[in-house]
Structure 1
Amino acid sequence: MSGSIYGKHFQISTWGESHGKALGVVVDGCPAGIPLTEADIQKFLDRRKPGQNRYSTPRKEDDAVEILSGVFDGKTTGTPISLVVFNKQQRSSDYSEIASYYRPGHADYTFDEKYGFRDYRGGGRSSGRETIGRVAAGAIAAKILETLGIHITAYSKSIGPITISADRFDLSQRECNALNMPDAQAAEEASAYLDTCKKNGDSCGGVVECIVTGMVPGLGDPVFEKLSANLAKAMFSIGAVKSFELGDGIAASRSLGSDNNDAFSLASDGSVQKTTNHSGGTLGGISDGSDLLFRVGFKPTPSISAQQHTVNKDHEEINISIKGRHDPIIVPRAVVVVESMAALTLVDALFSNMYAKIDDIAGFYHR
């Protein structure tokens, strides 16, 4: 299977299945000398691991990461970093029934059409557990960004019909509720809505919003390697993502140019700045130095216990009720996945940008 490698200069290759022995990632292109421990990576993985509240799958996994290579005496060596997380709580028997039919909303049918064979245990490579490798690598990318003063913060903007209020926005509240919502009232309303969904054997979707502060201008290229395009690809590579918006997003299509254009002005130090940020931090696909702001829409979890209609491998129409351990909503656990994919994209863009100017290359080698 191709398509498990992401990035050009800071490159990751994820591997493993939901019910296989382990999952992991190999990170290539990481500079030497970065302080890195398993605890640094574990902080990220703990934010996405299952079984932490009633809105995530009851599957209990420690998701404990082990560094196999690329680190010596607590610092990266510049060689490939290999990370592994062993699965401990597989219950593959929960999924034996689905081998014979195609679950609505899943990749069962498309996998069969493409490969003629599929790992039906929890979705195999299409499982949400695939994101373990992304998040582990994203923790390393985030450390690189922090050295430059670039910080990424994502949160649940909406869950089902419940959206956070700008008037009640409090980022500290993200850590105080199971839904990662920076609005205590919205989190309470969303919890009640989710409880109703669970009672009905159903699920719901939502939106993750992400803000990147401390951005530098000049990242991205003007045609096929636009920063905006690469961010969109990174987000759409996450399972269950159905939309991506940068800045005003779809609302820009309904606005006037006089309203949508971001005016320029001079800051107190004489540098150029924008007075608004409708563009979301890029112009012509290149970062302009203002905050990156984007939103990612997730569909409802397709595994639901409510009865659904489908077709089996014998081309018979049947009704099913999916069993097993599933999240009633993907959004809260996807917050750190969005942050991780953004970090990987930005580090790759930073490294690519280092040879954009001959003066920078000459300055590096003749310093």
Structure 2
Amino acid sequence: MAGSTIGNKFTITTWGESHGKALGVVVDGCPAGLPLCEEDIQIFLDRRKPGFSQFSTPRKESDTVEILSGIFEGKTTGTPISMMVRNTSQRSGDYGDIATYYRPGHADYTFDQKYGFRDYRGGGRSSGRETIGRVAAGAIASKILKELGINITTYVSSIGDVHIDKNNFDADYILKNDLNIPDPAAYTRASSLLEDCMAGNDSIGSSVECIVHGMPAGIGEPVFDKLDACLAKAIMSIGAVKAVEIGEGTEVSESRGSYNNDEFTMKDGKVSKSTNHAGGILGGMSDGSDIVLKAHFKPTPSIASTQNTVNKSGEDIEVSIRGRHDPIIGPRAVVVVESMTALTILDLLFENMSSRIDKIVEFYND
């Protein structure tokens, strides 16, 4: 299987399946000397692990990370960092009958067509548990970004037709509720909506917004490796993401240039912008303002409601999906979006180090 690696200078390769013995990631390109321990990684993994909310799958996994290589005396060595999380709560029997038919909204049919074979236990590589490796690697990328003064705020911005009110935005509230919503009033409405969905054996879609603070200007490439293009690829690679917006996203198609253009101004002796409709990216490169992106997640496809599908014998059948599933994807995907954003930005920051001869000379002649 190709396509399990992303990045050019800071690369990650994820491995493992939902119901295999373990999942993990190999990170290459991390500089030596970064203080790093398993607790640094565990903080991120705890934000996505299942079984600790009424709105997540009841599958209980500790998702305890083990660092297997690349660390010595509490610091990175510059060699590949391998990390592993063991699966401890598989119930593969819940998925036995899935081998005979194709679940609506899942990759069962496409896997069969591509490989002529598939791991039907929870979706194999297509399972949401694949993101464990992304999050573990994202924890490292985020730690490096903080060394550079770059921080990321990520949260659920909508669930179904319930949207947060930016006037009620409370960053501290994000980690205090099980939906990762920054608006207490929206949390109440969204909780009620989710309870109705669960009572009806249904699921619902959501969106996750990510804001990057402290970005320097000029990060990203002007043609194929635009910062927004790389971010879109990284975010779209997350299972269930169906759309990505940068800045005002789809609203720009109804806008006028006189409004959409972000006018430049001087602030504290530096070039700044009076607005940020562009979401912090111009011409594929960061402009120094906050980067703003939004990921839209489809409803969880595994639902207990009766659905029509086809079995491997070519017969029309009805199915009701058994097993342990989230009624919504967004809340547990917040840290996944944050991790993929951090990985993308760090990789492009490393590439940018060789973009100017004066900076190279300055570095080596220092």
Partner of 2:4: 4
Partner amino acid for 2:144?
I
- Asked whether 1:160 is paired with 2:160, we answer yes
Partner of 2:357: 358
User: What are the superposed Cα offsets for residues 188-216 of structure 1, whole Å, 9 maximum, x if unpaired?
Assistant: 11011001000100000110001000011
3-state SS of the aligned residue for 2:228?
Answer: helix
- Asked whether 1:31 is paired with 2:31, we answer yes
Aligned residues: 366
In 1, Cα distance between equivalents of 2:308 and 2:34: 52
In 1, Cα distance between equivalents of 2:364 and 2:172: 44
Partner of 2:113: 113
In 1, Cα distance between equivalents of 2:364 and 2:232: 35
Task: Compute the TM-score of the two structures, normalised by the length of structure 2.
Answer: 0.99
Partner of 1:237: 237
3-state SS of the aligned residue for 2:191?
Answer: helix
In 1, Cα distance between equivalents of 2:42 and 2:166: 32
- Please list every run of 5 or more consecutive structure 2 residues that lacks an aligned counterpart in the other structure: none
3-state SS of the aligned residue for 1:105?
Answer: coil
Partner amino acid for 2:324?
R
Partner of 2:287: 288
Partner of 1:169: 169
User: What are the superposed Cα offsets for residues 70-97 of structure 1, whole Å, 9 maximum, x if unpaired?
Assistant: 0000000000000000000100000001
Partner of 2:228: 228
Partner of 1:272: 271
C-alpha RMSD of matched pairs (Å) = 0.5
In 1, Cα distance between equivalents of 2:364 and 2:167: 51
3-state SS of the aligned residue for 2:302?
Answer: coil
User: What are the superposed Cα offsets for residues 193-240 of structure 1, whole Å, 9 maximum, x if unpaired?
Assistant: 001000100000110001000011111011000000000000000000
In 1, Cα distance between equivalents of 2:160 and 2:280: 27
In 2, Cα distance between equivalents of 1:188 and 1:282: 34
Give the Å deviation of 1:50. Answer: 0.2
User: What are the superposed Cα offsets for residues 270-292 of structure 1, whole Å, 9 maximum, x if unpaired?
Assistant: 21111100000000000000000
Partner amino acid for 1:150?
I
Partner of 2:41: 41
In 1, Cα distance between equivalents of 2:58 and 2:38: 25
Partner amino acid for 2:343?
L
Give the Å deviation of 1:173. Answer: 1.4
In 2, Cα distance between equivalents of 1:360 and 1:256: 39
User: What are the superposed Cα offsets for residues 249-301 of structure 1, whole Å, 9 maximum, x if unpaired?
Assistant: 11011010000000001112x21111100000000000000000010000000
In 2, Cα distance between equivalents of 1:86 and 1:236: 26
Partner of 2:137: 137
Partner of 2:255: 255
Please list every run of at least 4 consecutive aligned residues from structure 1 whose deviation after the TM superposition is greater than 3 angstroms: none
Give the Å deviation of 1:176. Answer: 2.1
In 1, Cα distance between equivalents of 2:45 and 2:175: 15
- Please list every run of 5 or more consecutive structure 1 residues that lacks an aligned counterpart in the other structure: none
In 1, Cα distance between equivalents of 2:250 and 2:195: 31
In 2, Cα distance between equivalents of 1:176 and 1:10: 32
Counting aligned pairs with the same residue, the percent is: 65
3-state SS of the aligned residue for 2:149?
Answer: coil
Partner amino acid for 2:160?
G
Moved more, 171-180 or 345-354: 171-180
